[in-house]
Amino acid sequence: MSDESVAEEVQTRRKFLSRLSLGLSGLAAAVVSVPIIAYLLSPLLRPALQVWRDVGTVDSFRVGATVEVAIEEPSPLPWAGQTALTAVWLRRAGAREFIAFAVNCTHLGCPVNWRAEAQLFLCPCHGGVYYADGTVAGGPPQRLLRYDVRIADGDRVEVLTRPLTFT
Ligand code: FES
């Protein structure tokens, strides 16, 4: 093999490796950037985030009682499965009056528990305590978030879901 053909072969191999390197770099950049771009655009791609969720008939709730009801998260991802379910604390305050509280503590999002005997919501994570109206009795959180509630079709209780924000 002549010196010229060896030099030509080295040059061809160098070009091939250079193109392969560029191709693999582009692929790696795509693998890293596509999820980031999808995350940044996700608020624009999601469907309406405020949705009325039916939680039952008016008479399925006792006046004065606060109960936990399951609802579907407003913007479940197709693969969310069971994790798309969340809950609210629903109180029937009167014959046709309901109040819905977020189940998540406003501090860091832990689920709060309703203690009927004390008329308090307790957060197990950092000692957050809320009065029955959602105002803070103690600990680091701010006021418990509320959802709008309406009675539709005469006797169906519906809760307006929305994304929660935490401090
Ligand atoms: S998450 Fe509830 S007090 Fe911290």
**What are the phi and psi torsion angles at 157 (to 5°)?**
-90, 130
Are residues 134 and 101 part of one domain? yes
Residue 27 pLDDT exceeds 90: yes
Residue 46 pLDDT exceeds 80: no
Average pLDDT on 8-25 reads 92
| Six token digits for residue 23 | 């191709």
CB 93 less than 6 A from any atom of ligand 1:
no
Average pLDDT on 94-117 reads 95
Which residues are CB-neighbours of 5 under 8 A, at least 6 positions away?
Answer: none
Percent of the residues in the chain that have a pLDDT greater than 70, as a whole number: 92
Which 8-state DSSP code applies to residue 145? P
Closest CA relative to residue 93, chosen from 114, 65, 70: 65
Q: Which residues make beta-bridge pairs with 113?
A: 122
Q: Are 94 and 61 in contact (CB under 8 A)?
A: no
Q: What is the pLDDT of residue 47?
A: 57
What is the reported pTM? 0.70
CA of 137 to the centre of ligand 1 (A): 13
d(CA 114, CA 136): 14
Long-range contact set of residues 125-132: C-beta below 8 Å, sequence gap at least 24: 132/66, 132/91
- CATH number for 104: 2.102.10.10
Parent domain of 37: 1-46
E strands, 8-109, are 51-57, 66-72, 85-94, 97-102
Residue 66 pLDDT exceeds 80: yes
More confident: 115 or 49: 115
Q: What is the pLDDT of residue 167?
A: 46
Are residues 150 and 85 part of one domain? yes
Q: Which atom of ligand 1 is nearest to the CA of 128?
A: 3
More confident: 165 or 55: 55
Are residues 112 and 92 part of one domain? yes
Question: How many folded domains does the chain comprise?
Answer: 2
CB 139 less than 6 A from any atom of ligand 1:
yes
Q: What is the pLDDT of residue 38?
A: 81
CA of 144 to the centre of ligand 1 (A): 11
Q: Which atom of ligand 1 is nearest to the CA of 110?
A: 1
Are residues 58 and 74 part of one domain? yes
For ligand 1, mutation pick of 103, 113, 120, 123 (most atoms within 8 Å of CB): 123
For ligand 1, mutation pick of 103, 104, 107, 145 (most atoms within 8 Å of CB): 107
CA-angle at 107, arms to 161 and 80, nearest 5°: 45
Average pLDDT on 113-130 reads 96
Q: What is the pLDDT of residue 50?
A: 84
CA of 30 to the centre of ligand 1 (A): 38
Closest CA relative to residue 125, chosen from 115, 142, 139, 146: 139
Q: What is the pLDDT of residue 2?
A: 77
d(CA 59, CA 140): 36
Residue 142 pLDDT exceeds 80: yes
Q: What is the pLDDT of residue 26?
A: 95
CB 134 less than 6 A from any atom of ligand 1:
no
